[in-house]
Amino acid sequence: MQISAVSNRINEWSGSVLIVGVLEGTIDNQINLFKTTVKETYLNQRFNEAKFKGKKNQSLSIEIIEGKVQKIVFVGLGKAENLLIDDLRKAASIGTRQVLSFERKVGIFFPWDAFDLSSAAFAVGEAVRLTSIKDLRFKSETKESTQIDEVELIGLDVKVAQSAISEINPICEGVKLARELVSAPPNFLTPSELAKEAKKLATDYDLDLKILDKKECQEKGMGAYLAVAKGSDLDPHFIHLKYSPKIVKNKIVLIGKGLTFDSGGYNLKVGASQIEKMKYDMGGSASVLGAARAIGELKPSNTEVHFIVAACENMINGSALHPGDIVKASNGKTIEVNNTDAEGRLTLADALVYACELQPNAIVDLATLTGACVIALGDEIAGLWTDNDQLSEQLARAAGKAGEGIWRMPMRDSYKSGIKSSIADLQNTGPRPGGSITAALFLKEFVNSSIPWAHIDIAGTCWTEKDRDINPKGATGYGVRTLVNWIKELNFKSN
């Protein structure tokens, strides 16, 4: 999809479909603006019939028999004084859904001036792009499907918008990669396939790659990670990608939970626990690799970025973990596995220890870690745990800019008593109440306290059951844009 800014006036533009963002109370302006395209009385009548006033989420499609444009989709933006960039994004996706099966060259006309032009152009372009991604990889027949080939953002100062627009493709390709990794089923996306994907990124974007096999992980004493992996016939692959700019002023590590399937292990997922959905338990790793894809192309200066995934499957065979086993992580801590279904934190424990050894300025992990987080925050908001206020603010700002929901949750130290074991240093699960807090506290045991660290639980946000804003039903690619925004901001700070 080609996205560009054009400085045409709206009634000079020609193409098949127009999406027009309408502020509440500006209907008369619209009628005036489009009077050369649609008869004023007709447009007025259609607005009236549909009670279209430009309220948020309202939309109205008008087909035009002859002229330069065949269809106009008006989408409401609500009141000017309440307008946020996120409203542009949402309106752009509502419009996009209405033209998806229609035509190839789409023009978009929004009240750009209400914002900094670059941000508005970026948000709208990105929204169109992300809304229209469709995963047809597993269909045997890919019927001739209509795709939007060309998008023009109309009435923009091309020079001003250009550099923001040029970032849309790398970032959206990162989100697309994350979505595709998540929606690929577990018989396709195995731990070794995930490693292959990392290899591909390394080759395409000149990143350094190290993959530790089982033996190398054993040598590092990664007993927690390997304990999860050993119940599967497929070998674990510990992935470490690195992006290095010419001058390094910051060093950060991104870690993603990479369970290509989570059966629960001997604490098998039964009943309503949706075992069939557990291909998405590598959502964290998908976001991290998606971010690597974007960073690899954007090549920000100053920040060295490490991308780490302890990939494996949580399965059941004769040598799988027993509930009650005691394992030892690479920092020497012993863990009583009182529930084999709390496997993500076991894999992350060794990944966090490994990350700390790199002595970074900050570590962020993303993980589909707990069902409790889904219960607490639903599918639009990820949970954020950190003891570091500055990191919390940075990540919240980065997420806010991306329109990705995030909410800081308490790292309540007293709840640590819930993961005390009578026989080992820790047990891997606590009581059900506050289950995502004890999960975060468990991870904290594997982080050097002098390194700023944040944990983001994306169990709810990595997937949506319905078309929602810029996310078509399925994998969302949540986190990629937040991470990229955060890294760009760090880069800006160290300039």
Contacts to Zn ion by CB under 5 A: 259, 262, 281, 344
Is residue 173 a contact point for ligand BES (CB under 6 A)? no
137 in catalytic set: no
Angle at 88 between CA 390 and CA 105, to 5 degrees: 130
Neighbours of 138 (CB within 10 A): 9
Is residue 296 a contact point for ligand BES (CB under 6 A)? no
* CA atoms in the 13 A half-sphere facing the CB of 123: 24
Enclosing H/E stretch for 480:
helix 480-493
The residue with its CB nearest to Mn ion is 341
345 in catalytic set: yes
Is residue 173 a contact point for Mn ion (CB under 5 A)? no
The DSSP symbol for 228 reads H
Nearer to Mn ion, 127 or 351 (CB): 351
Nearer to ligand BES, 156 or 259 (CB): 259
Angle at 293 between CA 166 and CA 351, to 5 degrees: 145
Site string for ligand BES, 254-293 (x = CB under 6 A): --------x------------------x------------
Which 3 state secondary structure label does DSSP give 63? strand
Catalytic residue among 269, 279, 293, 401: 269
- Please tell me the distance from the alpha carbon of residue 366 to that of residue 328, in angstroms, as a whole number: 23
Residue 388, both tokens: 């570091």
Pick the binder of Mn ion from 152, 167, 235, 341 (CB under 5 A).
341
Which 3 state secondary structure label does DSSP give 302? strand
Is residue 262 a contact point for Mn ion (CB under 5 A)? yes
Pick the binder of ligand BES from 18, 181, 198, 372 (CB under 6 A).
372
For the chain, state the CA radius of gyration.
24
- Strands (E) across 360-429 are located at 362-367, 381-386, 405-408, 426-427
Site string for ligand BES, 407-446 (x = CB under 6 A): ----------------------x-----x-----------
Size of residue set near ligand BES by CB under 6 A: 16
Helices (H), 299-362: 344-357
Could you please report the per-residue DSSP string of 130-162? HHT----TT-S---------EEEEET--HHHHH
Q: How many residues does the chain have?
A: 495
Applying CB under 5 A, the span of 54-62, 151-159, 255-263, 404-412 interacting with Mn ion comes to 255-263
Is residue 339 a contact point for ligand BES (CB under 6 A)? yes
Residue 93, both tokens: 């996706």
- Please tell me the distance from the alpha carbon of residue 461 to that of residue 19, in angstroms, as a whole number: 28
The residue with its CB nearest to ligand BES is 371
Residue 303, both tokens: 């920040």
Q: Which of residues 448-467 bind ligand BES (CB under 6 A)?
A: 459
Applying CB under 6 A, the span of 66-74, 156-164, 178-186, 368-376 interacting with ligand BES comes to 368-376
Is residue 344 a contact point for ligand BES (CB under 6 A)? yes
Q: Binds 456, which of Mn ion, ligand BES, Zn ion, none (CB < 5 to 8 A, cut-off by type)? A: none
Catalytic residue among 176, 257, 293, 345: 345
Residue 212, both tokens: 């530790």
Q: Binds 429, which of ligand BES, Zn ion, Mn ion, none (CB < 5 to 8 A, cut-off by type)? A: ligand BES
Nearer to Mn ion, 78 or 265 (CB): 265
Nearer to ligand BES, 410 or 433 (CB): 433
Is residue 232 a contact point for ligand BES (CB under 6 A)? no
Q: Are 480 and 399 in contact (CB under 8 A)?
A: no
Is residue 341 a contact point for ligand BES (CB under 6 A)? yes
Q: Are 355 and 421 in contact (CB under 8 A)?
A: no
Catalytic (active-site) positions: 269, 345
Q: Which residues bind ligand BES (CB under 6 A)?
A: 262, 281, 339, 341-344, 368-372, 374, 429, 435, 459
